[in-house]
Amino acid sequence: MLTEAQLLAGQITPAIALAGMVVCFFAGMLGGLSGYGAGLLVTLFIAPIVGPKALIPMMSVLMLVNNASRVWFYRHALDLPTVAKISAIAMPMSWLGAELYVRLESEIIQTILGIVLILSVPLRRWIDRAQIKPGPVAVYGIGATYGFLASLIVGAGMLIVPMLMGIGFAGPALLATDAAIAVVTNLFKSVVFGALDALSLAHFVLALILGLCTIPGTACAAWIVRRTSLRLHTFLIEGLILAGGIAMVAGLI
């Protein structure tokens, strides 16, 4: 794990930098195709580098950039009223989650993150099969839950995609609206983590650079969306996520 001083001194090897660019490219493509998994994939790469305590604040910045690019590429299908409605409840709840996050010990955070990664695979599959049809109250409830969990764990966005599908969103409209909700929430989280001194300048800059590296992947995804099956890459990503989660719980990374 690199310390903040090492990051400020630029002590990242070319091999790590290249690997980070490749991981972020594929993460951007994954998120652009499915609306899910980009944050989980990047987490497996940066968690061993920066440690669990800095992870969520950094991911707030990184995913802000990543989702902003997705909003841009699918902007013609964006539903602003839905974004405003869900973000209004997600933002204050993300503040509460951030307050809790900065008080947790690093070891606890790492264990939680590992468990979440492991559980994310069966949970995503269950959500897909459940075919949730949320009513107005459920929409606000899911939005609040998402906002709170988004400041504590990676992968909380898996709650938003099936909810939007349940109220009639699909294709580019689903990808754009989901991304816009994430943009608003992550922007708010970044400000809160900065105010709580949980997001240093070095971590902010690194997250910003990695976020920019996801944009070409998002651009590729926007071009091939609806042109290929997601089944194979879903299996591969789920296998990687499970392996990374087990390693985190076991303390291997």
Q: Which domain does 202 fall in, by range?
A: 4-249
Residue 10's pLDDT is 54
11-19 contact pairs (CB < 8 A, 24+): 12/49, 16/49, 19/45
Inter-residue contact 99 to 11 (CB < 8 Å): no
* Distance in angstroms (rounded) separating the CA atoms of residues 3 and 24: 21
User: For the segment 4-30, what is each residue's pLDDT rounded down to a tens digit?
Assistant: 555 554 556 777 778 888 888 988 887
Q: What is the DSSP string of 52-95?
A: HHHHHHHHHHHHHHHHHHHHHHTGGG--HHHHHHHHHHHHHHHH
pLDDT beneath 70: ranges in the chain = 1-12, 34-37, 113, 117, 120-121, 124, 127-128, 130-134, 225-245, 247-253
User: For the segment 152-199, what is each residue's pLDDT rounded down to a tens digit?
Assistant: 887 787 778 777 877 778 778 888 898 999 999 999 999 999 999 888
Count how many domains the chain has. Answer: 1
* Distance in angstroms (rounded) separating the CA atoms of residues 142 and 138: 6
* Distance in angstroms (rounded) separating the CA atoms of residues 252 and 153: 19
Sign of CA dihedral 11, 15, 21, 26: negative
Residue 89's pLDDT is 94
* Distance in angstroms (rounded) separating the CA atoms of residues 118 and 155: 11
Residue 81's pLDDT is 92
Q: Which amino acid is at 129?
A: R
